[in-house]
Amino acid sequence: MKKLQSTLPNMLLSLMFTCVASGVILAGVNKYTAGPIALSKAEALEKAIREVTPEFDNDPLGEAYKGVSFDGDSLLIYPAVKDGQTVGVAVDSYTKNGFSGEIKIIVGFDTGGTLINYSVLQHAETPGLGSKMDVWFRTDKNRQSVIGRSLAAGYLSVTKDGGDVDAITASTITSRAFLNAINRAYSAYKGTGADATTGATTKEGGNNE
């Protein structure tokens, strides 16, 4: 076969062929991996829901609905139903007020508004400081734990803001943001529509995050 001359048209033709072939390959890979990736994400989400709600026998993902938080945002709510009775919910919540940006959590409540459990899904907080939120707010010491708290009695806030939750040491901003995400979750679940400034975050001086 005669070798193509290294002319500009031939070079462009070769480049175009390479791009088309690469696109076809990538499309094929995406087609065959999209399903397993989606399934993996669904399984991880269901596992997180089971960690924060009472035992259920329904399909929370398939029965999910949206609730509006006090700041007008729509949050996904996953109902936990056992023997035909709603026993609680898991609420997918977040805040963009973390010291290093967005914090995503999933929060479980019983039907009366008591916080059952929570799971931190994503964050970029400082290791050894704000990152402690994963365990700090479930540790039964002083006033750290939020587990078992009833938000029907009022939103959560740190002691520095007049509340009764101990902030993570040297991480007040992260603590405020975390509690704000929980408050947003509860407001979306109960449809309170009330204003909640507790848990809001402002950058501040000192050695706090």
Residue 77 placed within a domain: yes
Give 3-48 pLDDT, tens digit per residue: 545 566 666 666 676 766 666 676 666 666 555 566 677 788 999 9
Q: Is residue 2 part of a domain?
A: no
The mean pLDDT of 132-140, rounded to a whole number, is 96
1 lies in some domain? no
For residue 180, being part of any structural domain is answered with yes
Overall size of the chain counted in residues: 209
The answer to whether residue 124 sits within a structural domain is yes
pTM of the model: 0.77
Quote the number of domains for the chain: 1
The overall average pLDDT reported for the chain is 85
* Higher pLDDT, residue 2 or 99: 99
The residue-averaged pLDDT of 188-198 equals 62
**Gap between the Cα atoms of 147 and 94, Å rounded:** 18
Q: Would residue 94 count as lying in a domain?
A: yes
> How many Å apart are CA 142 and CA 135, to the nearest integer?
14
Task: Give the mean pLDDT of 174-202.
Answer: 77
Going 142 to 131 to 188 to 85, the CA torsion angle's sign is negative
Give pLDDT tens digits for 69-91: 999 999 999 999 999 999 999 99
**Which residue from 123, 145, 127, 148 is spatially nearest to 136, judged by alpha carbons?**
145
Q: Is the pLDDT of residue 199 over 80?
A: no
Q: Distance (Å, rounded) from C-alpha 182 to C-alpha 142?
A: 20
Residue type, 164: D
Note whether residue 97 is domain-resident.
yes
Domain that residue 133 falls in? 7-209
Residue 35 has what pLDDT?
59
